[in-house]
Amino acid sequence: MSELPLDDQLGTRDPASILRRLPESERESFLAEYRAALDAAHEVWRYRQLQEALSRWNLVAIAISQPGYAEALAEARNATQPGVGIDEIAARRAAR
């Protein structure tokens, strides 16, 4: 479980805190995106990219730490009801 109450975690953009709260399986993806956004932040007009990446990964860390997350994710991936699957949503986001 994470070290901060949920209300405090929502605004956390500290990369070390985010990294600590992520499971090992997500850490390399976080670090790759963080490093790319950090490099881009050298351009003043791209600084927001770093803030957005940290905010997004903070939300990932919060979600993953919730009880039942893995089960809910598996259920969503294996859904048989009509709708948009999580993999399709991820592909759409990546295509933007």
- Mind listing the pLDDT tens digit for each residue in 7-28? 455 568 899 999 999 999 999 9
pTM of the complete model: 0.68
Tokens of 9: 């975690």
* CA–CA gap between residue 26 and residue 42 (Å, rounded): 25
Do the Cβ atoms of 23 and 65 come closer than 8 Å? no
CA distance 43 to 69: 37
State the pLDDT confidence band at 6, using cuts at 50, 70 and 90.
low
94 neighbors 55 (Cβ within 8 angstroms) = no
